[in-house]
Chains A and B, each alone.
Chain A
Amino acid sequence: MSKQKQVSFQKNPNETESQIIGDSKALADDIIKKHTLDSDEEDVQDNQDDRMEDDDIEGQEDDTIAFDGSTTITPFNMREEMETGHFDKTGTYIFDKETEIKDSWMDDIDWVKVKQNAKAVKEKELESSDSEPEEVDELSLWKEMVSLMLPGETVAKSLRRLGGGNKKLSSAQRLKAKKLGIKPTEEEIKNKEFFQTLTSLADKFIQSGYMEIYDDTYEKIAYKIQEKEQPIKKVPEKLPENEEDALDMFGDEFDEKVAKSESKNNDEPVLKKRKVEPVATAPSSTDDIQWEYKQTDEESAEICGPFTSSQMQQFVDDNKFPGGVYVRKVGAGSDFYSSKRIDFELYT
């Protein structure tokens, strides 16, 4: 057994600084080696101890003749195999990695740099995947859309009116029209423009993840605008009442309106949060819910209240009802329920 490869860990008192540096360099080399093309193969430490010696392989026979006529005779021994690899103690044949696959591109890689960059790239990826598709300024988009639609129409219907209304001309007809010098009327041009604007607006919503845009009616959008504007402040003109003005998208008045709504949106980040959940028609507006309570479940017990949901939540938070009281909604006709089971937060 060859002993020369065995590493001795005896500390050499004479070890010089340069040796240590050399060692660390070797270590670095080792790390780099692991990044070779075949690095995903098992790192077989070439440990001589684990080798099976030629003598350990039983039943080998010496070479006899190489050829019998034209037939090659393979000798019954492992000599040939031992040239290209070795057996370990458990009998697994391991090829000697003599010719490592070299790639000059790989040699050029500065692994220290790669490690640093990898971290940055990962962070970037995380960021980009987290960040939602850009928030659209929905209020102004809604407003713009509603201005292009007629009451009672869905977006899809509006598009049909603006775009599909004029019948498709055959190419011959078109040619004829061209010859005669018939140009599309001003309204047709205008409609076409509106059609394109509406399509691009709808597309913005689709891209922001709101897929039902084409089924939304004029009224629904109007309601949404109203919903959005209400919490900010009462705006006199929630909707372009004047159809003419509204349809004239190049009108100054309209542009002003859009600009106004845009600036408003920027001031109110709260708005966006509201939009995340499409506005549902709540059972009854949450502000309206009032509660009354009594200390015991008896008929004769004194009823206190009414209180708002947030007040009730405050009471619960302040631990005013240690034993629980019996509460009911005012005017809903419900029974008295134990306050312990009611989460007033849901109603605020």
Chain B
Amino acid sequence: MSYLLQHLHNGWQVDQAILSEEDRVVIIRFGHDWDPTCMVMDETLYKCAEKMKNFAVVYLVDITEVPDFNKMYELYDPCTCMFFYRNKHIMIDLGTGNNNKINWAMEDVQEYIDIVETVYRGARKGRGLVVSPKDYSTKYRY
């Protein structure tokens, strides 16, 4: 787990983080710092954050501390990553059937950056749904 990624401690901060970012993708990881899945994800996010600082920013949200979004975003999984661009939720076709979020831990840094870059490019061109370069349907079955 990394303390170098910024945590958001209440709903208002989350809203502001999403709202205030002008031309970067806002990545929000919902989960718990102590959760093993989140630890893996956070590690990846930490490694990515510097590389994609020009087009994306990462925030961590504890879903127990900030339960405001649990219902709206259906945050039932141990670890959920969601993408926002200019206050708009960007969907990604990951092949999993759930286009709203990445709800597993990703370990491959480059893979993650590729997804975020696709999100960024798509969002900038006004797309609400982008297709992730990789199909995750075979790997992560429900």
Which residue numbers of A lie inside 8 Å of B, CB to CB?
Answer: 212, 277-283, 332-335, 337-338, 341-343, 345-347
A346 to B129, CA, bound (A): 12
User: Is B104 part of the contact surface with A, judged by Cβ < 8 Å?
Assistant: no
Measured between beta carbons, the chain A residues less than 8 angstroms from B17 are none
Decide yes or no: A337 and B130 within 8 Å by CB, A278-B22, A280-B124, A283-B54 being known contacts.
no
B57 to chain A, nearest CB (A): 12
- Would you call the interface of chain B mostly helix, strand, loop, or mixed? loop
Q: Is the CB of A334 within 8 A of B23?
A: no
Decide yes or no: A283 and B55 within 8 Å by CB, A334-B114, A335-B110, A343-B122 being known contacts.
yes
Given contacts A280-B124, A343-B118, 10 further A-B contacts (CB under 8 A): A212-B22, A281-B23, A282-B54, A283-B117, A283-B120, A332-B110, A334-B114, A335-B110, A343-B131, A346-B122
Task: Write the chain B residue with the least CB distance to A281.
Answer: B54
A337 to B135, CA, bound (A): 9
Measured between beta carbons, the chain A residues less than 8 angstroms from B114 are 332, 334, 337
Residues from 96 to 125 in B contacting A, C-beta threshold 8 Å: 108, 110-111, 114, 117-118, 120-122, 124-125
A277 to B24, CA, bound (A): 12
Task: Write the chain B residue with the least CB distance to A341.
Answer: B131
Measured between beta carbons, the chain A residues less than 8 angstroms from B134 are 335, 337, 341
User: Could you list some 10 contacts between A and B, CB below 8 A?
Assistant: A281-B23, A281-B55, A283-B54, A283-B117, A335-B108, A337-B134, A338-B135, A341-B135, A345-B125, A346-B121
B88 to chain A, nearest CB (A): 14
Choose among B117, B125, B131 the residue with the greatest number of A CB atoms under 10 Å from its CB: B117
